[in-house]
Each structure stands twice: as C-alpha cells, then as structure tokens.
Amino acid sequence: MCGIVGVTGDQPALPVLLEGLGRLEYRGYDSAGVALQSGGALWVRKRAGKLSELVASVGDAPAGATAGIGHTRWATHGRPNDANAHPHTDCGGELALLHNGIVENYLSLRARLEGAHELRSETDTELLAHLMEERLADGATLADAARSILREVEGSLAIAVVHASDPELIVAARRVSPLVAGVADGAAFLASDIPALLPYTRDFKIIDDDQIVELRPGTLRVTDLDGAEIEPPARRVDWNLEEAEKGGFPDFMLKEIHDQPVAVEETLRGRTTADGRIVLDELRLSEDELRDVDKVFVVACGTSYHAGMVAKYAIEHWTRLPCEIDIASEFRYRDPVLDTRTLVVGVSQSGETADTIAACRHAKRLGAKVVAVSNVVDSSMAREADAVLYTHAGPEIGVAATKTHLAQIVALTELGLYLGQIRGTQLPSHTKRLLEELAEVPDRIRSLLTDSAKEVERVASQYWQTRDFFFIGRGVGYPVALEGALKLKEISYARAEAYPAGELKHGAIALIEPGVVVVGVATRSRVHAKTLSNIEEVRARGATVILVATEGDEDAASLADHVFWVPETAELFSPAVDVVPLQLFAYFVAKRRGHDVDQPRNLAKTVTVE
Ligand code: F6R
C-alpha cells in the first residue's frame, strides 16, 4: 500500500518528509512525491521510480518551507509514472492532495468531473483534489471539504491535503486506510504508518474511520463527520524500527498472514453492487466478447497455480464452460487447443513470472483472449494482456506468498461469478446470495486468526521435527492441501506431499506408517463423507492425523489427533479460509526449526527465468 508522511512546524519540512518516506520504502512502491508550502504558493515534485529519483530532483526546493506532505505510491489506478504519482493538485495548483486506498465510485466521479476540470492523470486520487476544489469554491473550509470527501466518496481512503492559502495547516481524513498523528517539539506530524515518525515521537493518536484531523505547528484537532471535536485514543510505541516495519509482528510473513482479511476486503471493494451484481468495469473485454467464449484455460505457477485450481472448480460450476488449469511452464509445450473463442487467464502476483508471461504470449499468438490477474499495476503481464483484473493485496514482502494468494482466490471467484452473470448461467438471486457469502469471508478469517492461531502453534510445537508430511483433500480441498504442503516445504524445508485424498490408496498409501503426519482438509462440502473415509484409511495405518475441520464437526474430530477449527464457509469460497491455518502451521514449524521465514533458501519473490 502507499505511504503518507506530513509535517508542520518551525523547522525545514523536506528532510522530515524524505526521511519518513525512506522509512516506508520497505513496503514497496513505484513512485514518490512531495508538496511543500512556500510563501503562499505550493511547490510540488513527483517522480516515478525509487525515492532516490525524487531526492535527486529536489535541489531547487524552497529552503524555508516548514510544512508539507509526502507520499510513496503503489499503483492501483493508472500506471506508475510521474503524472500519476502523488500529490495531485487542483486546477489552479493551490491545493495538493495525496491518498492511500481505492475510490470505488471512480468511474462516475470521473465522468462528472472530466468536463469541468483539467485532469492530468489517470488516478482516482486526482478526482479527490478537484472535488475538494469545488467545495472550497462553494466557501467550505479545508476541513469541511475533507469532510465532504468522506461523505461523497465510496471506498477506502486516507488523504492528506495542503492549501496555499493557509501555509501552516495540513488536513487529513480517514476511512479504512490507516492514519496516525503526533505532536512533538513544536511540530505536528502525520503518517500512514508508525515507522515513518519514530525519530520524532513515540506517542501517537490513532485516527479512526470517518475522522478529520487538522494539524498546525504543535497542535492537532480531530473532528467527526458532524464537525464535533473528539479525543482519539493515544498509543505509546516502544517498538524499534524493525519491529515497527513489521507492524509489531516478528516477521513479514506473519504480518502478511494477519493482513489477509484486509487484502480480501480490498480485492472485493467496488466490484459488487447493492442489488447483488458483480461489476468488473476494469476488465476491458466487452460482455459480447466474454459471451462468445467457449473454453477457459488458467495458467500459473506455484501458489498462483493453486489459486487457479480453485478457479477451475468455480468457473466450471458457475458458467458450465470447460476450464482447464495448466502449470505455465508446461502449457506451451503440450500444444494446447486454443482459438479466438478461448479465454486464457494468467495468474501471477508479481506479473513478471517468465513462464506465465510466455504461456500468455503463446495463447495470444494463437488468437485467444488473455486476462491477467496480477497484484502489480502495469506489470509485464498486465501490460501485454487483453484485459487485467487486479488483486489489491498491497505489496507482499515475505517471499512465500500468503495474502496475494487469498486475493487471487477472491479475484478469480469474482471473475467466475461475472462470467456466470453475463452468460446467464446463474440466477441473479443466486449470485446475490453468493456475493453476500463472499463478503463474509474477511470476518471468517479474522475470527480464525483470533481463535485458532494458538492451537496451530501448539500443534506445530509438537510435530516440528517430523520428517514426512502428507496433505490430502478432495474437491476444492485439494488445492488447499497442495498450498499447505508447498508452504511447509518452502519455509520449513520439511518433506511434504499433497494428494487428492481419494488418490492416496493408488500408490502413496504405501508410505503411510506410524510417525508420518497426515494433514487432511476435511471441512464440510459435498465430498466431506468421502474425505473422512480416506482419513480412516491413513489412521488405520498408524499415521498421526491433523484435520482442518468446520467448527462443531464432531465426526471429523473423532478421527483426528488434532483439529484446526475453521468457520463454515460456502464451499467454493472455503479455500480462502481453510488455507489460513496451514499457512500458520508452516510458519510455526519453520520458526521452531530456526529458519528465516521471510527469505527462505533458494527462493526468489519474482522468478524471471524460464
Ligand atoms: C510460493 C510462491 C511461488 C509463486 C510462484 C509464482 O509461496 O511464492 O510458488 O507463487 O513463483 O509467482 P507469481 O505469482 O509472481 O507468478
């Protein structure tokens, strides 16, 4: 996600902004910018690329500026370039605004503002600057204009604004995207994340949803949507910088596992209507083109492939289109049957995986329509594809994919539902009910992270030295088993094999003996009873059994040595919930084994070789 820093005081603001942005670099970003107050005018500079590009370009900044705002951007709307970098200004260049989050009613706002304002970027953020410009022209104060943004704009936002007419003032507002503020040594500070401000203060005010904060040198004033003053909760932070970067978690991986409810919410944001339809305006393929599709291929590698397997089940079930799933590195070499009526979905969090790019290019050459599902705006895959569906998990730093995986599952199920909707293979009432279910997934993950993590850690502490693990599941439980095994292999270096539960007896069951741990994905589904029969088979051969099971399922519990309970979830969405205890299990086993979970051996975050 993007980073925000702001300061107003009696010392030069630019060094504070650049240092603060530097402290947020670890989160990943693609461009950076600052706006400074300079004697009744604003000075704005923004650059695509690393922060060093911005630093190299600020030699002519006004030396005496003591107030300003700065931003590192992780693109969501519009490519990473100078024009799309924040801050954005109003038509007259008197107001500068930066933003973290996603504006959901972007298209309607853009249509409304386009004729009346000179739009200079492709971003959703610039629209907010022009909206505020209109409110100010109507006589609103800067704080009231920010209040009206919270009222009019749908989506997640943390904004910070400066206006040339009030050189000491910074106004910020928040809904969903985090914002903290603090006061120290005659200055007031603002940031999206605590690490940015640690050199200046350890005492923070946590700004909550639908609150507006006005910063002046040495003071903060926080108000609600009605303008009533409020006292936000204070928080003292004792973390060192490294702890602060990880949000207080010991590793990025654990932090990112806990980021997952938000990653899912952000990926769902703006893609459903109140009357229960799915809207994927960004897809760039017309409904007619999608109606013409007669076959779907999903191509991906590793964890993305496992998300693609879930999509296969969902797409076939909801659209009745045949859907094949291919390992990207195998796809082109097996001469797949593709033509202009084939839809190929390339899934890659980085959008730079060489094998997946090559598979998508091959599909395009044969005339297929290609949709990229990527977490990185303007990645190579996103640029080359006919259409793109972004996941909005934010930057993932741990090498082992977690939150991007859940976001992929959600984006792909959205795509499946959308295809079903426009092809008429789903009743509107059914789609509506499914979307209501999907909206419940973030809270299910939240409750499981609160309720089950301790038990997973306890079980991991019992089996961390085990040599052989088997992961089994049926239906959509099979990709969950594959992903659970992959996570364990990647970070704990344990041997872990995954099988469709019914396939075990055709060979691999020969390896089951006392001392082997079998992890079964056995949540309630149409194949639940059959999965439990397969669990009986491994129990009979002396394996230790750990089950991922639906809360309250005593039949499953009676077959298991240990149970990771998960809340009941509609079957085709259940992988996004059921995989979470397995991520945690891999994490705790790896920690017990003393491994660096964020940088596992031999692995890279982006695999750009075939
Ligand atoms: C597993 C993992 C890898 C990636 C694979 C594809 O934790 O991270 O298996 O999933 O290399 O990467 P992307 O999604 O970037 O194409």
Is ligand 1 within 6 A of the CB of residue 348?
Answer: yes
Is the distance from CB of 21 to CB of 197 less than 8 angstroms?
Answer: no
Q: Is the shortest distance between the CB of 350 and ligand 1 below 6 Å?
A: yes
pLDDT tens digit string along 516-555?
999 999 999 999 999 999 999 999 999 999 999 999 999 9
Write the pLDDT tens digit of every residue in 356-367. Answer: 999 999 999 999
Decide if pLDDT at 7 tops 70: yes
Of 448 and 376, the one with more pLDDT: 448
Look at ligand 1, atom 10, and give the residue with the nearest C-alpha: 303
Report pLDDT for 378.
Answer: 82
pLDDT at 258: 97
- Would you say the CB of residue 353 lies under 6 angstroms from ligand 1? yes
* Closest C-alpha to ligand 1, atom 3: 302
| Alpha carbons 261 and 576: distance in angstroms, whole number | 10
Q: How far is CA 271 from CA 115, 442, 449, in A?
A: 26, 15, 26
Is 608's pLDDT higher than 90? no
Over residues 72-101, mean pLDDT: 94
291 burial (CB, 10 Å; 0-12 / 13-18 / 19+) is: exposed
- Atom 15 of ligand 1, residue of closest alpha carbon: 350
- Residue 1's pLDDT is 65
Task: Say which range, 172-181, 329-338, 599-608, has the weakest mean pLDDT.
Answer: 599-608
Domain annotation for the chain: domains and CATH numbers: 3-241 (3.60.20.10), 245-439 (3.40.50.10490), 449-597 (3.40.50.10490)
Residue 152 CA to ligand 1 center (angstroms) comes to 38
The pairs formed by 277-281 with CB atoms below 8 angstroms and a separation of 24 or more are 277/421, 277/428, 277/431, 277/432, 278/414, 278/417, 278/418, 278/421, 278/431, 278/435, 280/389, 280/414, 280/415, 280/418, 281/107
Sequence-distant (≥ 6) Cβ neighbours of residue 214 within 8 angstroms: 142, 143, 169, 170, 171, 220, 221, 222, 223
* pLDDT at residue number 163: 98
- Poorest-pLDDT segment among 264-268, 341-345, 355-359, 606-610: 606-610
What is the rounded average pLDDT of the residues 91-117? 94
Query: Which among 495, 493, 498 is positioned nearest to 597, based on CA atoms?
Result: 493
Q: What 3-state class would DSSP assign to 294?
A: coil
**Cis amide leading into 87 (omega within 30):** yes
Q: Are 100 and 1 in contact (CB under 8 A)?
A: yes
Decide: 304 in ligand 1 pocket, CB within 6 A.
yes
**Which pLDDT score is estimated for 606?**
78
Task: Quote the ligand 1 centre to 587 CA distance (angstroms).
Answer: 17
**Ligand 1 atom with the shortest distance to the CA of 300:** 16
Which tokens hold the place of 431? 């789609």
Q: Considering only residues 550 and 604, tell me which one the structure prediction assigns the higher pLDDT.
A: 550
CA of 304 to the centre of ligand 1 (A): 6
DSSP result, 124-188: SHHHHHHHHHHHHHTT--HHHHHHHHHHH--EEEEEEEEETTSTT-EEEEEESS--EEEEETTEE
Q: Is 385 in the pocket of ligand 1 (CB under 6 A)?
A: no
Q: Which numbered atom of ligand 1 lies nearest the CA of 301? A: 6
From ligand 1's centre to the CA of 466, what distance in Å?
Answer: 26
At 243 the pLDDT is: 80
pLDDT surpasses 90 at 403: yes
DSSP code at position 121: S
Q: What is the pLDDT of residue 603?
A: 83
Q: Does residue 607's CB lie within 6 angstroms of at least one atom of ligand 1?
A: yes
Percentage of the chain modeled with pLDDT above 70: 100
Span 305-322, average pLDDT: 97
CA distance 518 to 596: 25
- Distance of CA 516 from the midpoint of ligand 1 (Å): 27
The residues assigned a catalytic role are: 2, 605
Nearest CA to ligand 1 atom 7: 400
Task: Check if 349 has its Cβ closer than 6 Å to any atom of ligand 1.
Answer: yes
**Using 50, 70 and 90 to split pLDDT, how confident is the model at 460?**
very high
Mutating to test ligand 1, I would choose from 252, 326, 349, 606 the residue with most ligand atoms within 8 A of its C-beta, which is 349
Q: Can you point out the beta strands (E) in 192-251?
A: 203-206, 211-216, 219-223, 234-236
For the sheet with 544-550, list strands across it.
495-500, 468-473, 517-521, 544-550, 562-566
Query: What is the edge-to-edge ordering of all strands in the sheet holding 187-191?
Result: 41-48, 31-38, 67-73, 3-8, 187-191, 180-184, 203-206, 234-236
Q: Which amino acid is at 278?
A: I
Q: Is the dihedral of CA 552, 557, 562, 563 positive or negative?
A: negative
**Of 340, 519, 324, 319, which Cα lies nearest the Cα of 419?**
319
How distant, in Å, are the alpha carbons of 294, 319, 320, 408 from that of 425? 13, 6, 7, 23
Helix axes 575-592, 428-451, angle to 10 degrees: 20
Q: Return the pLDDT at 178.
A: 86
Q: What is the mean pLDDT of the chain?
A: 94
The CB of 379 under 6 Å from ligand 1? The reply is no
Residue 85 pLDDT > 70, yes or no? Answer: yes
Q: Which two tokens stand for residue 489?
A: 């292999």
Distance CA 89, CA 367 (A): 42
Half-sphere exposure of 224 (CA within 13 A, CB side): 6
- Return the pLDDT at 191: 96
The encoded tokens of residue 465 equal 């030295």
Q: Residue 302 pLDDT more than 90?
A: yes
Dihedral pair phi/psi, residue 140, rounded to 5°:
-70, 155
Q: Decide: 375 in ligand 1 pocket, CB within 6 A.
A: no
> Is 517 close to ligand 1, i.e. is its CB under 6 Å away?
no
How many angstroms separate the alpha carbon of residue 405 from the centre of ligand 1?
A: 9
Stated length of the chain: 610
Mean pLDDT in residue range 386-404: 93
What percentage of the chain carries pLDDT values higher than 90?
86
pTM for this structure? 0.85
Please name the residue whose Cα sits nearest to atom 4 of ligand 1: 302
Q: Identify the band that residue 26 occupies on the pLDDT scale cut at 50, 70 and 90.
A: confident
